[in-house]
Amino acid sequence: ADLMLRMVNLMVDSYLDLRKQLTTSLDHWQAELLNPHTRFNNWTSLMSARNELHTLEDLCEEQHDAMQEWLDTLREQPLGQSTQSERDGLVARSRDVIEHIERVVHHVRRLEQSAETVVQIHFSAQSNRTNDIMRTLTALTAVFLPLNLITGFFGMNFETFPFIHSTNGLWWTLGSMVCIAATMGLLFWRKRYLARTGR
């Protein structure tokens, strides 16, 4: 029993080493996911790390159940040749192993939750950036829409059109178009539709 507990404890300690490696990898990927200047395309490695976390969690839960069942059996069986102090030592060591397993499960679940949270933050940031781009493009379209209307209006082939035969008609039209564009641009800038967000 003592040898079995030592072996299980050694396995659980190796899980802790694996957890450290996965933590390092996930921290690196989280930094890449949250960096707005890089395009993250390492989804295969991230999903395989999540699968490894799931496998580790399943292993730990199975070992936890087996250790708990063995501990219950140890408490219920008669003393026989072993003394009370030996049994108490085995119970204490079993509880220690179970506590190590629970600690690994806790860390694994925390890592899974952290990975899921950072992926959600990544997609929220992507959506926010897309919304900013669409807002800017919409504002620019709204600025150029009246200018297109004016040029289309004066592009009609009617002889009795105002300003058509005037020598200053072109300059009045250009001036009004610049004023309209500047006014709408200033309005959208003040409403922060064209402002650069500080990210």
The reply to whether the predicted model has a pTM over 0.95 is: no
Does the CA dihedral 110-112-114-116 come out positive or negative? negative
* pLDDT tens per residue across span 75-87: 777 666 567 777 7
195: confidence class by pLDDT, cuts 50, 70, 90: low
Over its C-alpha atoms, the chain yields an Rg (Å, rounded) of 35
Q: Residue 121 in contact with residue 30, Cβ under 8 Å?
A: no
Give the sign of the dihedral formed by CA 119, CA 120, CA 124, CA 130. Answer: positive
Q: How confident is the model at residue 70 (pLDDT cuts 50, 70, 90)?
A: confident
Please tell me the predicted confidence (pLDDT) of residue 72. 83
Looking up tokens 């899921």 gives 116
Higher-pLDDT residue of 4, 38: 4
Q: From CA 185, how far away is CA 189, in angstroms rounded?
A: 6
Q: Which amino acid is at 179?
A: C
Q: What is the pLDDT of residues 149-186, one digit of tens each?
A: 888 887 787 777 777 777 888 888 889 999 999 998 88
Place of tokens 């008669």: 78
Higher-pLDDT residue of 144 and 88 is 144
| Long-range Cβ pairs for the range 189-196 (8 Å, 24+) | 193/135, 193/136, 193/138, 193/139, 194/136, 194/139, 194/140
Tens digit of each residue's pLDDT (9 = 90 or more) over 108-130: 888 888 878 878 887 888 888 88
Band (199; pLDDT cuts 50, 70, 90): very low
What percent of the chain shows pLDDT beyond 90? 3
